[in-house]
Structure 1
Amino acid sequence: MASNDAKAPYIRLAKKDDFEDLAIMLQKAFIRSPPQSFYARLDKPLTTDPEDASKRKNQFNYLRYLLHRCWAMQARITILVVPTEGHKEIIAGVTIWLPPGVRRPPSLFKSLILPGLVPLLLSWGVGFRKRVYELVSSTESVLKEAYASKKLPGSPADSWYLLLAGTDPEYQGKGYMSKLIRETIEQTGDNAIFTLEANNPKARDVYVKHGFEVVGEVRIGKGSVDDTGILAQGEKAVGFPMYPMIRHGQ
């Protein structure tokens, strides 16, 4: 999987020792993520200013929680690393894929309590899980309808599901995300079925280039947030878009 050229960026599977650096990188990539702004009920975009330190800590805790939860669910976490002088690796990108049949945690303690759900509920409120459910249930419904219309075997739960994909802003535009997506597709085989939800047109278009098809569009948080996931009222509370997508070899 890894390149023999130590100076070239390469892909490998993540280790638990990578999680702190991964969470730091992901926070840079998703500091203004609409879903995460929605989960946190932010009333303004998150920034790197000192006044937002506590809110950034909450987001960091969420990302770390998500990594540990996915690890407990045996997700395929692939990272693209850039070697530097002194053999230090910089994590430039990551994809987190849930294998077919893995959509529910095998153990409440290992996948929810141990990774850090309680601190999240204390900082983001018990409504955090309700907001997550709104997003997940809305997109799953579209994917199920698409499965039925395309006569695909099983259900979306039987696909390889891209839960999260991110690139360090300093390394965007280098094709690293495309490398990560291609690597998993090549590893799993041409007949595998893949599902995901893009949360912006730019990401959607990247996935289209890799054979994914947009099967719908849903608006999350209508009546409560704007198109960036920030709390809003009235005409601005249109919700933010999510684009369920499928790739299949049939």
Structure 2
Amino acid sequence: MPERDIPTIRVADTADRTAIAAMLARAFAEDPATSFIFPDPEQRAKRLPRMFALLFDEDAHGMRLMTESGEAATLWRGPGRNRTSWLDLLLHALPLVGLFGTALGRALAVSNAIDAHFPAGDYWYLHIAGCDPASQGKGLGGATIRSGLERVAGSGLPTYLETPSEKYIGFYRGLGFEVIGEWTVPKGGPRFWSMMRPVP
């Protein structure tokens, strides 16, 4: 992308919560994991904005980045903060039950499988990365991820992510990540690929 076309990436704050959650809901509308959690497309469209709003809140202790107009965003967790604590779960217990309803078991199956496959050691965790379908193909998602990678480069730590979409493996490889594992969520859940980007 020519230098003049490089988008401005900024830190997202609480005022961006609703717009980012709605954008991520559109970005993940056909994602294998969200489709497993919410098999019904109408329920998925209704519940995903609430789910991503909660995830936006959970990642307040990490790093939340977005393009200036919110076409793409990334949510990061810092070293040692990849797992959701029991305190966080208790604080969100009622919202979680209200959000997931009968899908709670499938949501916990995905969450528990992700937790079980985190690698050992310290690293930055690229928790969520999404781009509005209407803005895909313009390099905005990649620019937002690269901005995060540049910001954590001074930590001297690698970066980790997992994806349930095989089609994105090449995209992440282009950003320096390599597959370090492959696994499946139990009880008919999706397959995931774990990927790590070593210290530059």
2:52 to 63, 80, 100: 63
Distance 1:170 1:200 in 2: 19
**CA-CA distance at 1:123 after TM superposition:** 5.0
Superposition deviation, residue 121 in structure 1: 4.3
- Contact 1:68–1:111, Cα closer than 8 Å, also in 2: no
Alignment deviations for residues 202-239 of structure 1 (CA, whole Å, 9 cap, x no partner): 32111111111111211224x52xxxxxxxxxxxxxx5
For the 8 Å contact 2:164–2:191, the answer to whether it is kept is: yes
1:26-52 CA-partner distances (Å, limit 9, x unpaired): 111111111112223x1x5x2xxxxx2
The answer to whether 1:76 aligns with 2:26 is no
Deviations 1:124-160 (A, max 9, x none): 23553244212331x32xx34xxxxxxxxxx1xx100
The alpha-carbon distance between structure 1 residues 22 and 108, as it changes in their structure 2 partners (threshold 3 A), is: same
Aligned length: 197
| Greater Cα radius of gyration, structure 1 or 2 | 1
Instruction: Please name the residue that 1:228 is paired with.
Output: none
Aligned-residue sequence identity (percent) comes to: 27
Letter of the structure 2 residue corresponding to residue 75 of structure 1? G
Q: 1:33 aligns with which of 22, 31, 34?
A: 31
CA distance in 2, matches of 1:39, 1:201: 18
Any idea what SS the aligned residue of 2:181 has? Answer: coil
C-alpha separation in 2, matches of 1:132 and 1:70: 15
Retained in 1: the 8 A contact 2:7–2:143?
no
1:148-227 matches, within 5 Å, as: 155=121, 158-189=122-153, 191-221=156-186, 224=188
User: Does structure 1 residue 19 correspond to structure 2 residue 17?
Assistant: yes
Aligned-partner Cα distance in 2 for 1:8–1:213: 25
Aligned to 1:94: 73
Question: Which amino acid letter does the alignment assign opposite residue 120 of structure 1?
Answer: L
Higher mean displacement: 121-130 or 24-33: 121-130
One-letter code of the match for 2:30? Answer: R
Q: TM-score, normalised by structure 1?
A: 0.69
TM-score by length of 2: 0.85
User: CA, structure 1 residues 10+38, in 2 after alignment: closer, same or farther (shift >3 Å)?
Assistant: same
Q: What corresponds to 1:241 in structure 2?
A: 191
1:120 aligns with 2:95: no
Instruction: Give the whole-Å Cα distance in 1 for the aligned partners of 2:153 and 2:110.
Output: 34
DSSP-derived class of the 1:91 partner: coil
Question: What's the Cα RMSD here?
Answer: 2.8
Tell me whether 1:108 sits opposite 2:73 in the alignment.
no
Give the Cα–Cα distance (whole angstroms) in 2 for the partners of residues 105 and 125 of structure 1: 16
Describe the shift of the 1:125–1:100 C-alpha distance in structure 2 as closer, same or farther (beyond 3 A).
Answer: closer
Is the Cα–Cα contact under 8 Å of residues 105 and 111 in structure 1 kept in the other structure? no
Stretches of structure 2 that go unaligned for 5 or more consecutive residues are none
Q: Gapped runs of 5+ residues in structure 1?
A: 47-51, 82-89, 145-154, 225-238
Cα deviation for residue 105 of structure 1 reads 4.6
Aligned to 1:189, what secondary structure does the other structure show? helix
